[in-house]
Structure 1
Amino acid sequence: MTDAVSLAPPSPSRRVTVDIPTLLGVRGGGADHVEWSRIRAAQLFAGRKMALVLLAANIAAVLATGFLVRDTVPAWQIATWSALLVAVAASVGFRRLAVHHNGESQASVRDLRKTGWEGLALGLGWSCVPILFCTHAPSGTTAGLGITLTVLMTAAAFAMAPLALATLVFLGYLGAAMVIQLLIAGTTSAAFGILGFTLLLMAGCISRARALVLIRANEITLNERDETVSLLLREFEDTGADWLWETDAMRRIVRASPRFAVACGLEPGAIDGMPLLQLLAGPSWDSGEFAPELRTLAEKLRRRESFRDVSLPVTIDGQGRWWDIAASPRFGDDGEFYGFRGVISDITELRASEDRINRMARFDVLTGLPNRLMINETLVRTMGEADRWGGRYAFMMLDLDRFKAVNDTLGHPIGDRLLGRVSERLEGLMADGNLCGRLGGDEFAVIVRDATDAGAIDDLARRIIETLSQPYDIDAHTLYIGASVGIAIGPRDGRTAEMLVRSADLALYRAKDAGRGVYRSYEPELHVKAEERRILEMALRTALENGEMHLEYQPVVDARGERLVAFEALLRWTSPRFGIIAPEKFIPLAEDARLIAPIGAWALRTACEEAAKWPSDIRVAVNVSADQLQNPNFVTTVTSALANTGLSADRLELEVTESVFLTEALGATKVLERLLDMGVRLSLDDFGVGHSSLGYLSRTRFSSIKIDRSFVRDAAAGTREAVAIVHAVIALARSLDIDTTAEGVETEAEHRMAQAFGCTNVQGFYFGRPMPVEQARALAHGRWKASAAA
C-alpha cells in the first residue's frame, strides 16, 4: 500500500506526509524530522498503555491452549512451550512499560524498528500451536485452538495497533502458519478464510495507527498554537504599547486592564463603565470638535462590524499621541450582540517616522523646499481644483544664471550654501496659496494657484529676478548671480501637468536665449520651434553616417607678404530633407545632444587627412568645443588622427574659445597642456567678445589670438574704442610672442588697417570665402595671388 495521508502541522508552510514505510518506521520522515520524532514517541507510549492488556491476552491464550491440548500433547511439551511463550510475552510487556512520555519526548526510527523483533518473537511462539498441537488433535480441539488464535490475533491487532510494525509482523507470521497448516490438512476454504481475516486485521491495524498519528499531529499543532497565543498574550501584558480592551453592548469599557487605564492617564478603577468614544475623545468630548478619525471609528462601532488599522489622534495628559485600533464584535449563541473586543497599539513613534520619511521623499534635503515629487503632486492637485471652478493657474520655472561658475571656482560647499540663501529669498516672495520648490541642481519652480491677474504674474517674475540678483555675502565672498524665468499659464498652455511643465521649460529656454536675467511667457510658436529642433536633432544623429557632413576650407594669409599660411576647416551640413543648414544652428544642437564628440572627431580626422596632401608649410586649423576638451580621450583622438594621416603635430592648430576655461574644473586645461606637449598649436578664437581674462593667456601657451570681426570692422571705420582694443590686443600678443589673426577682413581698408596695426595674419572674404576641398587643394599647390583670391 503506497497511499499517503497529509497532516497540517503547526506552521502552514510545512506539511507532514504519512506513508506506509514512514508509519512502520522502515524509513524516516524526511524534512519533518522534529514532528515525526515526537509522533514516534507517541506511538511507543500508546503501546506502553496497552502493554498489560497484551500480556494478559497472551497469558489467557496460553492457559486456554494448554487446557485444549492436555489430552493430546505430552505435559512436558505443554509446560515448556507455555513457559517460553509467557517469558517472551512478559519480556515484551516489560519493555513496553519502560517507555516514558512527557509530551515533548522524541524517538528515533531505530526505536520503532526494534518493536518489529518483539512482534516476530511472539509470532514465532504462537506459530508453534498449529504446527505442534493441531497435527494429531481431534477436530473439536483443532476448532478450539483456531478460535483461541483468532481471538488472540484480534486482541493483538487492537492492543498492538500503535506499533504497526510489530503488529503486522505478528499477524503476518501467525496468520501464515495457520493458513499453511490448514492447506496441509486439506481445508482450503478455511485457509482462505483465515487469510482474509488476517488481511482484514492488518488493514485495521494500519488504519488505527494512522488515526493515532493524525491525533498526535493535531495535538502538536494545537499545543504549538496554544503556546503562540499564550506568548502573544504575555507580550500584550508585558509591552507598554499594546492593550486589550473590551466593551459591552452600550460601548462602555468593561474589565479594563490596569495598564490600559494608565495609558489613558486614569486610575484603573475610573475607566470601567466609561464610554469608549468619550475616553478616546478626551478634552474634545465637551466641545464636540472631534477628529474625523473618531467619527470613522464611531461609524464602524455603530455598524457592529470588524475593523482594523483605524488610526486615531488622542490627547493624554496634554500630550498628543496616535493610537491604532482594531476590534471584532462579540455575539452570543443566540446571535445577541455583547459588545466589542479588540486591541489598541501606540503608533506615535511609527507615525513620526513615517512623517520623517514622507518629508524626505517630498522635500529637498539641502534647501528644505518641496522637491520635484511634491511640486508635481501640488501642480496636479492645483489643476484639478481649478478645473472644477474654472480658474487659472501659473507654473514658473527658474534657472540661476552664473551659478555653475560659483561651483567651479569656489567649490560645492559654497554653492550649496548659496542655494540655501536663494531658497530663503524665494520663500519670502511667496504669497498665501503659492508654492516654491527646487527641481534639482540650480532649477527652481513656483506654482501660483490663482493666475487670474496676468499683471500680478509678471510682477512676481520681475521681483523674483530682482531679488535673486542681489549680491550674496557668503564666507567673505560677495557673489553675484541672476535668474531667468519661464512662465506657463494653465489651462491655456497645458491641460496636464506634463504639458504645463514643458511649456514653462520652453519659455525658460527662450528667456536664456534672450540674454538671461529676464522672464518670458510661453507662446505656441515655442512648441513649434521645439518640435523643429527635435526633428532636426533626429536628422543630425544620422547625418554623419549618411555622409551628409563635409568640410570647407577658408584661407589664412600672412598680413605682410600676402602668403598663404593656413586653411581653417569649417564644418558644413547639407541635409537631403532640410537643405543647407547653418553651422550656428546645428553646432549648438550637436553640443546639447552630445553629438559633438563623434562629429568633431570626424572633422579632425578629415582635416588632417587633407592637410597631409598640402605643402609642408601650410597648416590646418580645426575648431574644438569645450565638450570635446572635457573628454580625456580627446588626446587619443588627436594622436590617432596625426598618426594615421602622417601629418606633423606643428601643422595642426586647434582653435578654442574662452568658454573652454569656464569648465576648467572638468580638466580642459590639462587636456590642452597634453596637446601642447605633443607639439600641436593652439589658437584663442573670438578673443574679447566673451568672458575675457588675461589669466587665460598666462596659463596657456597659445600660438595665436584671433581678433573678432566686430573689432576689425569698427577699427577700420575709425571707432575709437575698437582702435584702442585692437592696438592693446596686438601689443599684448607681441609681448607674449603670440601671433595675431584679424578675422572677417572683407575690404581693402580693413586689410590696410590690419597691416598698419601689426597683425600677423588676416582671414576673411577679401582673401577667399570658404571653398570646397578640391579648390582649396589646388590653391595650396598653386601660387598665391591676393587679387586672384579676391
Structure 2
Amino acid sequence: MSKQETSQFADARIDARALLGLYDPADSADWGQIRAAQLNAASHLALFSLATNLVGAAILTLIFAPLLPLWERAAWAVLVVLVSTTVTIRRLSVRQHTSFTATLRKVRDTVIDGMALAAIWSIPPLVFAPHADEGAALGLWLILSLLMAASAFAMAALPLATILFLTIIGVAMAIALFTMTSAVLSAIALVFTVVLVVSCFERGKALVVMRANEIALSERDETVSLLLCEFEEAQSDWLWEIDTQRRVVRASPRFATSLGLDPVTINGRPLLEVLAGPTWEAGNFSAGLRQLAEKLKRRESFRELLLPVHVEGEERWWEITASPRQDEAGHFLGFRGVASDVTERRRSADKINRMARYDTLTGLPNRLLINETLAKAMAEAAKWNSRCAFMMIDLDRFKAVNDTLGHPVGDRLLSRVSERLSQLMSDNEMIGRLGGDEFAVVVRDATDSVRVEALALAIIETLSRPYEVDQHTLYIGASVGVAIGPRDGRTAEMLIRSADLALYRSKDDGGGAAHSYDPQLHVQAEERRVLEIALRSALENNQLHLNYQPVVSAQNGGLAGFEALLRWNHPEFGNISPAKFIPLAEDARLIAPIGEWVLRTACHEAAKWDSGARVAVNVSTEQLHSPNFVELVTQTLAQSGLPAERLELEVTESVFLREGTGAVKMLERLLALGIKLSLDDFGTGYSSLGYLSRTRFSTIKIDRSFVQGASQGKREAVAIIRAVVALADSLGMSTTAEGVETEEEYHMVYRLGCTKVQGYYFGRPLPVEETRELVARASAASAAA
C-alpha cells in the first residue's frame, strides 16, 4: 500500500462503496486483504451471533406460549435454528479460504445470510405481535432491540449484510407498532434503527482503517528488513555497543573486521582506544575522536560524527551515530550505535571540493579559494593587529598572443605563467588565478612592506622573461596592483577593490609596473564612474561636437584636407579631454554609437566645402569589426552626397590583432567603394609589415613622438622616420607627420621625405565656422593661382 493510500485510510476517507462490498477499487490487492479481515472478524463472533439468535428464539417461544399454538411457535423456532446455524457454519468456513485475501464475491455472499436472518426475525413483529397482550408485546420489542444491538456490534465487520438485517427488522417493528399502538412509537423504532445502522457503518469503517494501518506497518517493517539486509550484504554499516565504562561489549564481527582486529579480543577494550589505533599511545587524537569522547562523557546522543580511523596503516573515515541506553528504572547502561565507512564518499567530496576551489587549467586556487584565504588573512590581521596584503596581476600583451596564435597556445602560456608564479611563493603567500589572464596573491603577513614590494617587482621581472611555447618565442609582461589590509580595506571585498584600482593605475601607465593603492585612486574611479554616466547621455543632450585640424602639403603648404576630432563640452564639468573620455567610451562599449555620429557629422560637413579637401575620420576597432559598418559608410556617403574619394578612414594596427574577424576583407570592401585608408600611429604598436602588404593604405601617419624625438636629435627617431618614408614610397603610399609645432620641425620632416604635415604650426583644431572660412580662402587662393 502506498504512503498516500495509508494516509487516506488514517484520515478515514474511505470509499463507502468499497466498504460495503459494492465496488472493487483500483488498489484491489490491498482491499483483498481488507475484505479478508472483514470476513475473519465476523467469523470470530459467529458463535456469539448464533447464541444470541438461539437464546432470543427460546425466550420468544416461552413468551408467546399462552398466546399461540405450539406448532406455530415450534415451526418458527426451527426456522431460526436452521437459518442461524447455516449462517454460522458458512462464516466459520470462511477462515480456511480467506486467511490472506478475499474476493468481492465472498463479501457479497454474506448479504444473503443477513437477509435470510432478517426475514425469519421479521415474522414475530408482523405475525406474532397482533395476538400479543401488553406483557408479550413488551417482551417482543425488548428481545428484538437486544438482537439488533448485538448484531450491530458482532457483525459490524460486514456492514452491508448487517445494515440490511437491521433495516428489515427495524421496518418490520415500525410497521407493527404503527398498526398496533401509535405513530410515535413507530417513529421511535425507525430512529433506533437508523442509529444502529450508522453505528454499524462507523464501526465497520473503523475496523477497515485499523486493518489498513496494520498492512502499512507490515509493509514498512518489510522495507526496513530489506534495507537492513542490503546494509548487511553491502557491509557498509555495523553495530557497536559499550557499557558504562565505555568498554566494547558484544562487538559484531563486522565491527571488529573493519578495524582489522579479532572479534574475540575486541570485547572489553575501551572504545576510544580501539578507534584511536596507533595514535592512542602518542595521545595525538583527532578532533573527531575528542568530540566523541566528550559526547560519551556527557552521555549525549549524537549523529553522523565524522572521525578518522587507522586500519592496517591506512587512514579511513568513519561516520558514527549512537544514543545512550537505560533500563526500565532509568539507570544508564552505556551506548549503542551504528558506524559506517564513508571513506569513498569523503574522497569524492574532497575531489568535488577541490574542483570547486582550484582552476582546472593551471591547478592554482581559483577565485572562491582566493576569497576564502583572503578573508582568513583579514581575520588574522584584525585579531593580532597586524597587516596582510592582496596583489592583483594582469598579464600585458596576452590578448595579442590569444588573437594571433589561438587559445590553445594561450592556455599553454598561462600554464607556464602559473609555474613561474608558484616558484616565487613561500608559505606566507598563496597564488591563485582569478580568471582569464588575471592572477592574485594573498600575503598572509605583510608587516614587512619592503618584502611585499620586492615580491611585486619580482613577479613583473619573472613574467617578463621570454617564453618558448610550441616553437614560438613569446614576450609578455605583467602589471601589479597592491593593497594592504586593513589600511586599504577592512573587508576582503574592499581590499580586492583597492587592489583593482591600483592595478588599473599600473595599466594606465603602460603596464610593466607595480602600484600600491592610494586613496586618490578611489577619487579617480568615482570620477570615471560619473563621467561614464554623463557620457551615456552626451549624444542625446548635444554635448558632443567636432573640430577639424588642417592637413597640409609638406611641399607647398597647400590645404590637403582635415582630420575630424571629437570634443566634449559638459555643462557642469566643462571641456573634457579626449584622452580621458575616448578610452572610457571604448571600455563602456559606447564607441560604436559615438563613432557613427562622428562619421555622419563629418561627412555632412565636408560635403558643404567648396573644395576637394578630404576629411579624415578615426575608426575604432569595434566599429571596423561590426558586420554592418560597410553598409553604414555607404548609407552615410549617399545621404551626405560626399564623394567616396574625399573620405579617409584612419585605423590603428590593433585592428589586425583579432584573427578570424575579417578585418582585411572589411577594409577591401571599403576600398572598393573608393574610400581612402590611413594607418595611424605606425611604429608605436606591433608594426607588422604583413598587413601593409595585404591592405592598400593611401597614407601612413608618423606619430608625433617620433617627430619630437627627431627634432631633439635622437638618431633612433630619425632612422624610424626615414624607414617609414622609404617603406611608404616603395608601396606607393604617402606619409603624414603628426604633431609638427615649429618651423624647424616642419623643415626637418620635409627634408626626411614626408609628403603631408599636421600640427599646431599649421593650425589647431578649428570649430566648424572657422573651418569653412579656411576652406573658402584655400579655394579662392587655388582659383587665383
TM-score normalised over the length of structure 1: 0.89
Other-structure match for 1:288? 283
Cα 1:646–1:111 change in 2 (3 A) is farther
Partner amino acid for 2:362?
T
Contact 1:55–1:93 under 8 Å retained in 2: no
Alpha-carbon displacement from aligned partner over 1:517-554 (angstroms, at most 9, x marks no partner) = 22222222222222222222222122222211111222
1:228 aligns to 2:219 (yes or no): no
1:544 aligns to 2:539 (yes or no): yes
Contact 2:79–2:120 under 8 Å retained in 1: no
Alpha-carbon displacement from aligned partner over 1:274-293 (angstroms, at most 9, x marks no partner) = 21111101112222222222
Name the SS for the 2:445 alignment partner: coil
Q: Distance in 2 between matches of 1:183 and 1:387?
A: 99
Identity %: 59
Contact 1:8–1:14 under 8 Å retained in 2: no
Contact 2:35–2:101 under 8 Å retained in 1: no
Name the SS for the 1:543 alignment partner: coil
- One of 138, 151, 159 as aligned partner of 2:154: 159
Other-structure match for 1:172? 167
Q: Distance in 1 between matches of 2:317 and 2:9?
A: 38
- One of 393, 402, 421 as aligned partner of 1:426: 421
Other-structure match for 2:690? 695
1:468 aligns to 2:463 (yes or no): yes
- 5+ residue gaps, structure 1, are 1-6
1:90 aligns to 2:89 (yes or no): no
Other-structure match for 1:238? 233
1:568 aligns to 2:575 (yes or no): no
Name the SS for the 2:564 alignment partner: strand
Other-structure match for 1:763? 758
Other-structure match for 2:302? 307
Name the SS for the 1:525 alignment partner: helix
Cα 1:15–1:575 change in 2 (3 A) is farther
Contact 1:85–1:125 under 8 Å retained in 2: no
Contact 1:58–1:86 under 8 Å retained in 2: no
Q: Distance in 2 between matches of 1:13 and 1:782?
A: 101
Other-structure match for 1:3? none
- Any residues of structure 2 matched to 1:186-585 within 5 Å, and which? 186-188=181-183, 190-559=185-554, 564-585=559-580
Alpha-carbon displacement from aligned partner over 1:314-363 (angstroms, at most 9, x marks no partner) = 11111110111110000011111111010001011111111111111222
Aligned-pair distance for 1:186?
2.0
RMSD: 3.5
Q: Distance in 2 between matches of 1:271 and 1:285?
A: 15
Cα 1:547–1:64 change in 2 (3 A) is same
Contact 1:313–1:320 under 8 Å retained in 2: yes
Contact 1:426–1:464 under 8 Å retained in 2: yes
Bigger drift between 561-570 and 363-372 goes to 561-570
Q: Distance in 1 between matches of 2:8 and 2:179?
A: 56
Q: Distance in 2 between matches of 1:307 and 1:268?
A: 25
Aligned length: 781
Q: Distance in 2 between matches of 1:11 and 1:776?
A: 93
Bigger drift between 487-496 and 190-199 goes to 190-199
Contact 2:543–2:570 under 8 Å retained in 1: yes
Other-structure match for 1:664? 659
TM-score normalised over the length of structure 2: 0.90
Other-structure match for 2:583? 588
Q: Distance in 2 between matches of 1:139 and 1:15?
A: 49
Name the SS for the 2:487 alignment partner: coil
Q: Distance in 2 between matches of 1:741 and 1:204?
A: 111
- Any residues of structure 2 matched to 1:617-636 within 5 Å, and which? 617-636=612-631
Name the SS for the 1:664 alignment partner: coil
Aligned-pair distance for 1:557?
3.7
Cα 1:9–1:285 change in 2 (3 A) is same
Aligned-pair distance for 1:579?
0.2
Alpha-carbon displacement from aligned partner over 1:763-787 (angstroms, at most 9, x marks no partner) = 3334433222234345445643679
Aligned-pair distance for 1:80?
8.8
Q: Distance in 1 between matches of 2:122 and 2:684?
A: 121
Aligned-pair distance for 1:647?
4.1
Name the SS for the 1:663 alignment partner: coil
Name the SS for the 2:537 alignment partner: helix
Contact 2:80–2:117 under 8 Å retained in 1: no
Contact 2:503–2:514 under 8 Å retained in 1: yes
Aligned-pair distance for 1:728?
3.2
Q: Distance in 2 between matches of 1:555 and 1:490?
A: 53
Partner amino acid for 1:707?
I
Partner amino acid for 2:126?
I
Q: Distance in 2 between matches of 1:60 and 1:13?
A: 41
Name the SS for the 1:590 alignment partner: helix
Partner amino acid for 2:311?
I
Contact 1:508–1:519 under 8 Å retained in 2: yes
Contact 1:38–1:106 under 8 Å retained in 2: yes
Other-structure match for 1:638? 633
Name the SS for the 2:125 alignment partner: helix
Aligned-pair distance for 1:650?
3.8
Cα 1:192–1:710 change in 2 (3 A) is closer
Name the SS for the 1:395 alignment partner: strand
Name the SS for the 2:307 alignment partner: strand
Cα 1:539–1:329 change in 2 (3 A) is same
Q: Distance in 2 between matches of 1:103 and 1:486?
A: 84
Name the SS for the 1:706 alignment partner: strand
Cα 1:254–1:29 change in 2 (3 A) is farther
Alpha-carbon displacement from aligned partner over 1:218-270 (angstroms, at most 9, x marks no partner) = 32243233223323332332221211111111111111111111111112211
Name the SS for the 2:679 alignment partner: strand
Bigger drift between 637-646 and 619-628 goes to 637-646
Alpha-carbon displacement from aligned partner over 1:708-732 (angstroms, at most 9, x marks no partner) = 2344455577765545433432332
Alpha-carbon displacement from aligned partner over 1:362-406 (angstroms, at most 9, x marks no partner) = 221111111121122111211221222222222222222222222
Cα 1:782–1:51 change in 2 (3 A) is farther
Bigger drift between 95-104 and 168-177 goes to 95-104
Q: Distance in 2 between matches of 1:784 and 1:132?
A: 141
Other-structure match for 1:105? 101
Alpha-carbon displacement from aligned partner over 1:417-442 (angstroms, at most 9, x marks no partner) = 22222222212112232211111111
Q: Distance in 2 between matches of 1:93 and 1:639?
A: 107
- 5+ residue gaps, structure 2, are none
Aligned-pair distance for 1:640?
4.1
Q: Distance in 1 between matches of 2:24 and 2:555?
A: 105
Contact 1:9–1:16 under 8 Å retained in 2: no
Contact 1:395–1:489 under 8 Å retained in 2: yes
